[in-house]
A and B are shown apart, each in its own frame.
Chain A
Amino acid sequence: MPDAGAYIVLGAALFAVGMVGFLARRNLIVMFLSTEIMLQGVLVNLVGFNRMYAGVDGQVFGLFVLVIAAVEAGLGLGLVVLLFRRKGTLDSEVWATMHG
């Protein structure tokens, strides 16, 4: 079975790709999907680190990551729908009215 290090490098790469998406994309839904990719990276990392120590604590942390993801999806998509109903677009830059 592959080493923990391989998983940690993969997790870091997934996290970075998700971060790029979150920073660079303008569609609210794609931004949310990018945060989910970052969470996938975290999950891979947790399982990789779990490998180094006896027990399954890392996997339990992973389950809590899933809880956070579910919360984020429920609340975040509710907000996205609300924002979409206000402006009729998913472009996040429409909401950049606060900067002078």
Chain B
Amino acid sequence: MTGGLVYLLYVLFAVGGIALYLAMPRTQGAHAKAGLVIGGGAVAGLLALCAQVYMAPHGSNIFYYIFAGVALLAAGRVVTHPNPTYSAVYFALVVLSVAVLLVMQRAEFLAVALVIIYAGAILVTYAFVIMLAQQSGGGSSADQRAREPMLAIIASFVVMGTIAGRVSDLRELPNSPVEVQATADVMDVPLADTPVKDAGNTLSVGRTMFNQYVVVVQLAGLLLLVAMVGAIAVSRKRIPADEHGPPPPPPGEIGRTVPPF
């Protein structure tokens, strides 16, 4: 990426930051529509820049533009929407778009694991907690006002500019070995045409995971176990009375022990 384009990248980031700032919830009412328009412009500019610098011309790139744009705009809506339920729905959109982007890089297993784990389990848990906590449908003061949005946006976009400015040299990094692994563009392969004997992505992920990273797999399992124990310990705890909070429910209604079977 040449020098001029890097500054263009920084300008686009700044415009995106302004859009986020406009769309942030505040007590006087947010300028969500203006934020959306400006943010959409910034995202379109960013994608155009990517197209200019990084893309070999190819028909399937259109999917990258669509889903990268959807992912970015939906992510912006997650952090700016005053209603947490809508945030969760937009986050589902982010997850699905990212899954499509992963499929485009022939990471099918990771993509479907993302959908199953994020959209199927994690996000449903979020929805569960949101429904339990806000049955009235939002409107609490915590959602109406952002906390120092200007400083947050400046900090984050400086980080982003640093990363993206550094990786702008990527054109010189090795980009060829991938042709060995992913021979064909996934969009080029007709739908059910892949040869049956080609075990593909799932097999190679499994081989790598259980040969090179087998200790990490064990550690991940241990981590999940510890987290499960911790989550159960935390959520079964009796709540002492707090001077600010609601009075605790009468004993015998919650925290009741149930014998196994």
B79-102: which have CB < 8 Å to A? 79-80, 84, 87-88, 91, 94-95, 98, 101-102
State whether B55 touches A3 (Cβ < 8 A): yes
Q: A87-B244, A87-B245 are known contacts. Are A36 and B122 too (CB-CB below 8 A)?
A: yes
State whether B208 touches A55 (Cβ < 8 A): yes
State whether B180 touches A54 (Cβ < 8 A): yes
B197-220: which have CB < 8 Å to A? 201, 204-205, 208-209, 212-213, 216, 220
Q: Which of A17, A19, A78, A94 has the most CB of B within 10 A?
A: A17
Q: A12-B164, A53-B177, A92-B142 are known contacts. Are A36 and B148 too (CB-CB below 8 A)?
A: no
Interface size of B as a range: 35 or more
Q: A15-B160, A51-B178 are known contacts. Are A67 and B220 too (CB-CB below 8 A)?
A: yes
B133 at interface by CB-CB < 8 Å:
yes
Q: A34-B79, A43-B114 are known contacts. Are A77 and B129 too (CB-CB below 8 A)?
A: yes
Bound CA–CA A5/B164 (angstroms): 9
Interface size of A as a range: 35 or more
Partner of B133 from the list A21, A29, A47, A62 (CB cut-off 8 Å) is A29
Q: A24-B148, A70-B122, A70-B224 are known contacts. Are A10 and B68 too (CB-CB below 8 A)?
A: yes
State whether A4 touches B175 (Cβ < 8 A): yes
Partner of B87 from the list A33, A56, A77 (CB cut-off 8 Å) is A33
Determine how close the nearest CB of chain B comes to the CB of A19; give it in whole angstroms: 4
Q: Across the interface, name the chain B residue whose C-beta is closest to A32.
A: B126
- Chain B residues near A44: list those with CB within 8 A: 98, 101-102
State whether A67 touches B224 (Cβ < 8 A): yes
A33-54: which have CB < 8 Å to B? 33-34, 36-37, 40, 43-44, 47-48, 50-54
State whether B143 touches A27 (Cβ < 8 A): yes
State whether B107 touches A47 (Cβ < 8 A): yes
- Chain B residues near A5: list those with CB within 8 A: 50, 53-54, 167-168, 170-171
Partner of A66 from the list B118, B147, B212 (CB cut-off 8 Å) is B118
Determine how close the nearest CB of chain B comes to the CB of A32; give it in whole angstroms: 7
The 10 closest A-B pairs by CB, nearest first: A21-B79, A91-B142, A23-B152, A16-B160, A3-B54, A19-B156, A24-B152, A5-B54, A71-B227, A78-B231
B residues sitting closer than 8 Å to A (CB atoms) are: 9, 13, 16, 20, 24, 46, 49-50, 53-56, 58, 60-61, 64, 68, 71-72, 75-76, 78-80, 84, 87-88, 91, 94-95, 98, 101-102, 104-107, 109-110, 113-114, 117-118, 121-122, 125-126, 129-130, 132-134, 140-143, 145-149, 151-153, 155-157, 159-160, 163-164, 167-168, 170-171, 173-175, 177-178, 180-182, 185-187, 201, 204-205, 208-209, 212-213, 216, 220, 223-224, 227-228, 230-232, 234-235, 237, 239, 242, 244-246
